[in-house]
Chains A and B, each alone.
Chain A
Amino acid sequence: MSRIKRIRSLLTSKQISCRELTRLYLEAAERENGRLNAFISITAETAMEAAAKTDEKLSRGEPLQALEGIPFVLKDNISTAGLKTTCASRMLENYVPVFDAKVWGLLKSQNAVLIGKGNMDEFAMGSTCENSYFGGAKNPMNLEHAAGGSSGGVAAAVGANLSVYGIGSDTGGSIREPASFCGVVGLKPTYGAVSRNGLIAYASSFDQIGPITACAEDAALVLDAISERDEGDMTSAGTGKTAGSLNRPLRGSRIGIAPQFFEGVSPEVAKALQEAMSLYRALGAELVDCDLPGIGYALPVYYILACAEASSNLGRYDGIRYGYRAKDFDSLDEMICKTRSEGFGPEVKRRILLGTYVLSAGYFDAYYKKAKLLQAKIRDEFRKALDGCDFLLAPTTPITAIKSGESMKMSAVENYAMDICTVTINIAGLPAVSIPCGFGGGGLPIGMQLIGRHFDEGTILNAACAFERETGGKYLKNSGMGVLL
């Protein structure tokens, strides 16, 4: 079922050369990007260089590494030296990093084939990808719908077979939510599992890089390749290998179900999740009740803390050293204010203002400090819940992908509500994988979230693989677009 292994076997059996394979993906990306808007840039030269190196190794009869020669997409907030990294913002429209993010360095050293940089919400702030300065990515399962956000371009490219896999980032659901909307698998690893070195910061205490893939086994393969302790990120710890242990039986496993995750969830999503629970029970797992009242106030806690960090992190954009600079100013202060006002989009400015407000004198204790205390409380609730079970099962999103343009008619708070099932996981720093588990109206995919203990990605990926096996992969629907190999 692994798409990565299938493509790899085509290469190693010499049914196709890596250059031929890469050309197919580049042509498909160029052809489909007009209607999908999945890529902000297509990196043909970089891709062909890696493909040529892979072909040389194959011609010498050398073994390939796990992701060697495999085409992939990288979210455009991950630094690539010599290649534009825009964060989907006017502010960084022409920014070219001078160094590689750790994760890109690791993949480059394997000759992974970078097809392009994935579209996203500006500075990863959004749930539809429609806050992109370059326009939103469309959903390959239904082009009238949004791809989700913020890693929408990466999920769309994987769903549309324009990349074998992708790398996104998740601060409050930005890997899992678009994966759920586009019918692919999205893994947010434990905070610290993957180095953030070179990831353009939104909210540093929540940001985490992870894979978006066609199936759970591929997520394990990619995680194993990118998870490594890195001195460039003081919170980086790396994590154990996962791909070799995905066939463990679930008999006797305990799966935690918290009713708070299911409040306000649409009937079609609730039904798909009920069916998934029945399947796990049939596999011999036991469903246990657990209580996570913190979900009731997790959204404001997340938005207070994330926006506070964003207001500080985005203070660096002053138009002096890199990025956009406004014209016509009389003073340095005027230049900085004009640059930021013209360079940032509305949602980014909204979050900077909220973050500045909750950190300002007179409000710090009531908002920021209180939210930090509630974060401790939420972490404690999850710790207790996971003491009584092996992992938790929950919806990824309360609804399926919304129509393109709908989010623009909604208030900011209504938009934030889409993140209700995902933000708590970032607050607690836990790993969670979203996998497709059904279809709703219009053939739109429904996602299920499996949430594990810190650094126990192996358990949730094993359970995800078991679900895919037992359902015969019927929810891993192919969009029929892109490269069909």
Chain B
Amino acid sequence: MVTHDEVRRIAALAKLYVSEEQLEEITGDLNGIIAFADAVASVDASGYDVEAEDGPAIRLRPDVTAASYEPELILKNAMESGDGFFVVRGRG
């Protein structure tokens, strides 16, 4: 069972705010999902090794310099920019 304090701690790690009003609902939700996830505890996985797992082949590309994007283009999606930088302006 996760507690309200644990939900606050996880939310802080995830950079999400959970208001006091939402806390009860989110804790309930998360406990439901964690109870469902707990099913993995009872399954035997002996004999398997994550390191030995044959996942997809990873192919690295050659380490060569390639053209990049113009800074102005990249800055277009920012809420605010100036002098070639991203700008974040607080209340003060």
**Stretch in contact with the other chain, from A31-39, A53-61, A213-221, A353-361:** A353-361
Q: Are A354 and B34 in contact (CB under 8 A)?
A: yes
Q: Are B33 and A413 in contact (CB under 8 A)?
A: yes
Q: Which of B14, B43, B74 contacts A352 (CB 8 A)?
A: B14
**Complex CA distance for A411 and B26, rounded to whole angstroms:** 12
Q: Are A372 and B50 in contact (CB under 8 A)?
A: yes
Q: Are A96 and B77 in contact (CB under 8 A)?
A: yes
Q: How far is the CB of A251 from chain B (nearest CB, A)?
A: 33
Q: Are A341 and B40 in contact (CB under 8 A)?
A: no
**Residues on A with beta carbons closer than 8 Å to the beta carbon of B84:** none
Of residues 22 through 39 on chain B, the ones whose CB sits less than 8 Å from some CB of chain A are 26, 29-30, 32-34, 36-39
Tally of contact residues, B, Cβ under 8 A:
48
What 6 pairs between A and B have smallest CB-CB spacing? A322-B77, A373-B45, A231-B61, A325-B79, A376-B48, A341-B17
**Residues on A with beta carbons closer than 8 Å to the beta carbon of B69:** 98-99
Q: How far is the CB of B92 from chain A (nearest CB, A)?
A: 7
Q: Is the interface of B mostly helix, strand, loop or mixed?
A: loop
Does A14 have its Cβ within 8 Å of any Cβ on chain B? Answer: no
A selection of 11 A-B contacts at a CB cut-off of 8 Å is: A95-B77, A191-B56, A235-B59, A311-B14, A321-B74, A336-B15, A337-B17, A344-B16, A357-B2, A358-B37, A429-B56
Q: How far is the CB of A384 from chain B (nearest CB, A)?
A: 14
Q: How far is the CB of A197 from chain B (nearest CB, A)?
A: 11
Does B90 have its Cβ within 8 Å of any Cβ on chain A? Answer: yes
Residues of A within 8 A of B (CB): 95-96, 98-99, 191-192, 205, 231, 234-237, 297, 299-301, 303-304, 311, 315, 318-323, 325, 328-333, 335-338, 340-341, 344, 349-350, 352-358, 360, 366-367, 369-377, 379-380, 411-413, 416, 429
- Known: A234-B58, A337-B16. Contact between A370 and B41, CB under 8 A? yes
Residues of B within 8 A of A (CB): 2, 7, 10-11, 13-17, 26, 29-30, 32-34, 36-41, 43, 45, 48-50, 52-61, 69, 73-74, 76-79, 86, 88, 90-92
- Known: A353-B26, A357-B10. Contact between A300 and B36, CB under 8 A? yes
Q: Are B36 and A413 in contact (CB under 8 A)?
A: yes
Q: Which of A192, A322, A358 contacts B57 (CB 8 A)?
A: A192
The winner among A301, A328, A341 for most chain B CB atoms within 10 A is: A341
**In the complex, which residue of chain A has the Cβ closest to the Cβ of B75?**
A321
Q: Are B30 and A322 in contact (CB under 8 A)?
A: no
**Complex CA distance for A416 and B34, rounded to whole angstroms:** 13
**In the complex, which residue of chain B has the Cβ closest to the Cβ of A314?**
B14
**Complex CA distance for A322 and B74, rounded to whole angstroms:** 9
Q: Are B45 and A354 in contact (CB under 8 A)?
A: no
- Known: A191-B56, A297-B39. Contact between A376 and B50, CB under 8 A? yes
**Residues on A with beta carbons closer than 8 Å to the beta carbon of B52:** 376
Q: Are A303 and B36 in contact (CB under 8 A)?
A: yes
**Complex CA distance for A357 and B9, rounded to whole angstroms:** 9
**In the complex, which residue of chain B has the Cβ closest to the Cβ of A339?**
B15
**Residues on B with beta carbons closer than 8 Å to the beta carbon of A344:** 16
Q: Are A301 and B16 in contact (CB under 8 A)?
A: no
- Known: A372-B50, A412-B33, A413-B32. Contact between A323 and B7, CB under 8 A? no
Q: How far is the CB of B5 from chain A (nearest CB, A)?
A: 13
**Residues on B with beta carbons closer than 8 Å to the beta carbon of A376:** 45, 48-50, 52-53
